[in-house]
Structures are given as C-alpha cells and as structure tokens.
C-alpha cells in the first residue's frame, strides 16, 4: 500500500491540487476514436466492462525496494480524477449524436451501444472549425462560419467558456483527422505573429492550431492525437507556458509504431544490425480515407518514419544501422473498416553479418487501441495542470510513452524507446509524490 501521507506532505513532493469537482473533456473530432472512448468510459462507470489498456486504471507502480512489496495501482497512488467525475463535449463536422456516430464508425457492437444508448444520444457535437483545404477527403455540414480565423478562434473560446460554467477543470483532446503536411512559417514564431496570422487568415494556420490556440488561451491543457503541426510551434509553446496549460506530443502510438518502439530497442540492446524495415498498412475507416490523400499521408509518414532513427541512432552505430532502408505505406481499403492490419518485414543481421528476417502481421483494432490512451492522457494532463512543478513547463515530455512523435525542449532529441518512456513516466509520478526514483541498480540486495 502507498504511504499514508498525502503527496503534498511527503518530503520533496510537489504541491498538487486535489481533483475535486467535474473534469470536462473537450474533443475536436467526435468520430471512431472519440465515440469508442466515450462509450468505453461510460461502460466502465456502469460496471459493464473493464478499462483494459489503460495504464491509469489498471497499471501499478513499484515504490521502494523489491523486497518492500509495495506496488499500488497508479490511480491509488496519484490524485487522478475519478471516472465518475468526467463530462464530455466536443465538435464535429457531422452533427449526429454520439450514438449515431458510434453506429457509423462500426467499432463497437450493438450490444455494447444499446446498453448506454440514452447516454450517448445525450451528447451532440457543436459545429466545428473546418476547412477542406487541410483535409481534402472530407466535407461536412456542421461547420462554423466566421469572418476570419480570428473570429473562429473566438467562437471556440466562447464554447470553452460555456463548458467551464458546468465543469471545474477541462482538457482538450484532438481526435480529428490528419491534416495536410505543413511546415513552420513566420506566423508560428511568436504569439503576436500567430494572432496577426489569425486576423489575416494566414494559410499556415490550420484548424487544429485554432483549437489549440483557443484552449491554451483559456488555460486548458491540449493533447494532439494526430500528426498535424499543431502545438509543436514556438507561438503555442510560449502560450502554454504563459498560461500554465500543459501540452505534450502528437499522434497516438497504437499499432505498427507501438511494435517498432518495442522491437527496435531489442535490436539495439543486443547489437543486432538492421538492413531494412518495410511497413505497410491497410485501413478502412475515416482515418484511412483521409490518409488516402497524399498531402495528409505526408504528415503521417513524417511521424512514423522518425521513430527508428531516434531509437537506433545510426550516427553512433554506423556498422549496424547507417545504411538501413525504411519504408512506410498506408493503403485505404474500405472493407477492413476500423480493423486495420499492419505488415512488417524486417531484415536483420547478426554474428559475422549473417542475415535473418522477422515478419509481423498485426491485425488490430485502431480505436480499441487508441481509446485507453485518450483516457490516460486526459487524466495525466489534468494531473499536470494541478501539479506545481509540472504546469508551468508547457511540454510534458514524461508523456512521450503515448506518442509516435514525442515533444521535447528545443535542441533535445526525443526518446522513442517504449521501455525508457515507461520508466520516465513512472519516475515522474514518483518524483511529484516525493518517492524515491527507481534505478534498478539493485546492489543493495547483495551487501
């Protein structure tokens, strides 16, 4: 069991405000991932299901020595919001309620949906900020109208302020589609330049950036579940620090990349070479349709390709990884729906350069893997907002565990190794609670 002292009473612990009242979750993009997340939380609250895949709900954390046998659940160790205190709202370009949207997404079966149908029908999305220039393959009717991007940002701020009237704390979670590939431009370099860009309708400002600007302006933490260029720009990072509104990485790490960040550390740990890594996917949901557009795929490709280079460090291990060939493909295949399939062919080599192969066929469910990540991230970001030593940092690198593209301080390379990321996450929780960090040195057992 954890110590009987509260986190604020332990030596070295951060000051953490209690999770009292309602936590409001605001979601731009209420499609497959969002409806699966919302329906899942309600099913867990009613005792119909277990929160499988959620580190905050089912994960444990070791405190002290192995011989202490002190391994509480994470949710019993840190003061997270209770699932019963969560409320939902959001925006979508389609106006159907969450029951209808979940039926359209075809992730959850009728038995699950009918059990919570009235609850899902009670949540209807607000009109969304949308411009087809940034997502070519979609169009919708539930869309905000405005004189400028500044006007649209102010409308989102108004939506946030209304939601604040019935909730005590808020987190915004982008579950919208992948936007076209954008690079940083002059309007992204400062808050003042960004706000001028909003007034001038600068094409470098995409809808996801408008949502993020509105959230951070209101002091609301923002999470990006897609690979878009959103809060990874100086202007919004400055705004996050100024308003104590935490931000973190982008693009949920669910299927193929989850496997890469598990296998690649094994190759490097054992000093096995990699000659090539070919990855292809088939996906039939709305995300697959969007990624069928080359400009949106470019955004996703940049996120997926960076993982191996950072883990394997070819500049440090040129004999093993310098000439590695890495290719990623995503193919839209409507019959598959949300049940995507990822194939990996990995050509490795070992002692004396002899070649070997590994082939992986991962038949997974995209939204089923993403939904518990959404839950963990909103709970951890709310915790960061309430924690004195975390809320003013802006970037929450300790949450890299959940993303294909972790965010770091400028000039610092991201850590992609899943196991290092997990250690970073748990050691951060130990740190803010005033507990000793775990190093796994273990020499004290043999004194």
Nearest to 96 by CA among 69, 127, 65, 67: 127
Eight-class DSSP state of 220:
-
Whether 436 shows a pLDDT value over 70: the answer reads yes
Could you give the CA distance from residue 338 to residue 329 in angstroms, rounded to a whole number?
A: 17
Nearest to 252 by CA among 12, 29, 24: 29
Whether 419 shows a pLDDT value over 90: the answer reads yes
Nearest to 64 by CA among 10, 18, 9, 8: 10
Residue 8 pLDDT = 43
pLDDT digits (tens, 9 = 90+) for 159-204: 999 999 999 999 999 999 999 999 999 999 999 999 999 999 999 9
Beta bridge mates, 358: 346
* Structure-token pair, residue 133: 């220039």
Q: Which residue has the higher pLDDT, 12 or 293?
A: 293
Could you give the CA distance from residue 190 to residue 196 in angstroms, rounded to a whole number?
A: 10
Give Cα 211 to chain centroid, integer Å. Answer: 16
SS3 at position 251? strand
* Structure-token pair, residue 398: 């300790």
Band of pLDDT at residue 3, cut at 50, 70 and 90? very low
Q: Are strands 403-405 and 355-363 parallel, antiparallel or unpaired?
A: unpaired
pLDDT digits (tens, 9 = 90+) for 5-36: 444 445 567 899 999 999 999 999 999 999 99
Residue 333 pLDDT = 87
Residue 399 pLDDT = 98
Say what the pTM is: 0.93
Asked if 164 and 24 touch (Cβ cutoff 8 Å), the reply is yes
Whether 1 shows a pLDDT value over 50: the answer reads no
Helix (H) or strand (E) holding 23: strand 23-28
pLDDT digits (tens, 9 = 90+) for 233-277: 999 999 999 999 999 999 999 988 999 999 999 999 999 999 999
pLDDT digits (tens, 9 = 90+) for 64-101: 999 999 999 999 999 999 999 999 999 999 999 999 99
Q: Average pLDDT, stretch 424-439?
A: 97
Eight-class DSSP state of 287:
H
Q: Average pLDDT, stretch 38-42?
A: 98
Residue 7 pLDDT = 42
Beta bridge mates, 343: 280, 361
Asked if 16 and 8 touch (Cβ cutoff 8 Å), the reply is yes
Residue 4 pLDDT = 42
Could you give the CA distance from residue 336 to residue 365 in angstroms, rounded to a whole number?
A: 10
pLDDT digits (tens, 9 = 90+) for 330-373: 888 888 888 889 999 999 999 999 999 999 999 999 999 999 99
* Distant-in-sequence contacts of 291-295, Cβ < 8 A, 24+ apart: 291/178, 291/330, 291/332, 292/137, 292/332, 293/135, 293/136, 293/137, 293/180, 295/136, 295/180, 295/181
pLDDT digits (tens, 9 = 90+) for 105-147: 999 999 999 999 999 999 999 999 999 999 988 888 999 999 9
Asked if 272 and 358 touch (Cβ cutoff 8 Å), the reply is no
Starting at the edge strand found earlier in the chain, the sheet holding 273-283 runs 325-332, 273-283, 341-349, 355-363
Could you give the CA distance from residue 409 to residue 393 in angstroms, rounded to a whole number?
A: 10
pLDDT digits (tens, 9 = 90+) for 295-340: 776 776 676 677 899 999 999 999 999 999 999 988 888 888 888 8
Could you give the CA distance from residue 409 to residue 405 in angstroms, rounded to a whole number?
A: 13
CB neighbourhood size of 96 (10 A) = 17
CB neighbourhood size of 359 (10 A) = 9
Band of pLDDT at residue 151, cut at 50, 70 and 90? very high
What distance, in Å, lies between the first and last C-alpha atoms of the chain? 26
Contacts with 124 (C-beta within 8 Å, 6 or more apart), sequence order = 95, 96, 97, 98
């Amino acid at each position: 069991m954890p110590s009987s002292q509260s986190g604020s009473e332990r030596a070295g612990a951060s000051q953490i405000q209690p999770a009292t009242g309602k936590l409001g979750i605001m979601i731009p993009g209420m499609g497959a991932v969002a409806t699966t997340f919302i329906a899942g939380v309600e099913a867990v609250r009613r005792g119909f299901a277990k929160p499988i895949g959620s580190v905050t709900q089912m994960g444990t954390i070791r405190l002290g020595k192995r011989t202490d046998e002190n391994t509480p659940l994470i949710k019993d160790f840190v003061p997270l919001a209770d699932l019963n205190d969560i409320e939902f709202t959001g925006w979508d370009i389609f106006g159907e309620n969450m029951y209808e949207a979940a039926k359209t997404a075809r992730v959850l079966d009728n038995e699950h949906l009918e059990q919570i149908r009235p609850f899902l029908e009670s949540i209807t999305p607000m009109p969304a900020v949308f411009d087809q220039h940034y997502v070519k393959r979609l169009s919708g009717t539930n869309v905000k109208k405005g004189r400028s991007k500044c006007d649209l940002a102010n409308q989102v701020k108004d939506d946030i302020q209304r939601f604040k009237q019935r909730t005590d704390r808020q987190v915004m979670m982008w579950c919208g589609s992948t936007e076209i590939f954008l690079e940083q431009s002059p309007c992204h370099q400062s808050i003042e330049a960004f706000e001028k860009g909003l007034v001038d309708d600068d094409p470098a400002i995409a809808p996801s950036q408008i949502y993020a600007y509105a959230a951070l302006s209101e002091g609301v933490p923002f999470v990006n579940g897609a690979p878009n260029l959103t809060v990874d720009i100086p202007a919004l990072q400055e705004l996050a620090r100024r308003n104590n509104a935490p931000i973190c990485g982008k693009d949920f790490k669910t299927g193929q990349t989850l496997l890469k960040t598990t296998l690649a550390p094994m190759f490097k740990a054992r000093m096995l070479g990699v000659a090539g890594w070919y990855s292809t996917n088939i996906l039939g949901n709305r995300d697959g349709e969007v990624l069928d557009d080359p400009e949106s795929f470019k955004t996703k490709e940049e996120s997926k390709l960076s993982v191996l280079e950072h883990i394997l460090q070819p500049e440090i291990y040129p004999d093993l990884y310098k000439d590695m060939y890495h290719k990623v493909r995503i193919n839209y295949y409507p019959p598959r729906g949300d049940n995507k399939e990822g194939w990996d062919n990995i050509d490795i080599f070992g002692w004396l350069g002899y070649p070997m192969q590994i082939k992986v066929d991962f038949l997974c469910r995209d939204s089923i893997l993403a939904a518990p990540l959404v839950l963990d991230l909103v709970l951890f970001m709310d915790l960061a907002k309430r924690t004195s030593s975390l809320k003013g940092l802006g970037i929450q690198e300790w949450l890299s565990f959940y993303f294909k593209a972790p965010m770091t301080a400028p000039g610092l390379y991201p850590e992609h190794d899943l196991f290092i990321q997990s250690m970073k996450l748990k050691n951060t929780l130990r740190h803010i609670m005033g507990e000793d960090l775990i190093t796994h040195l273990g020499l004290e057992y043999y004194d």
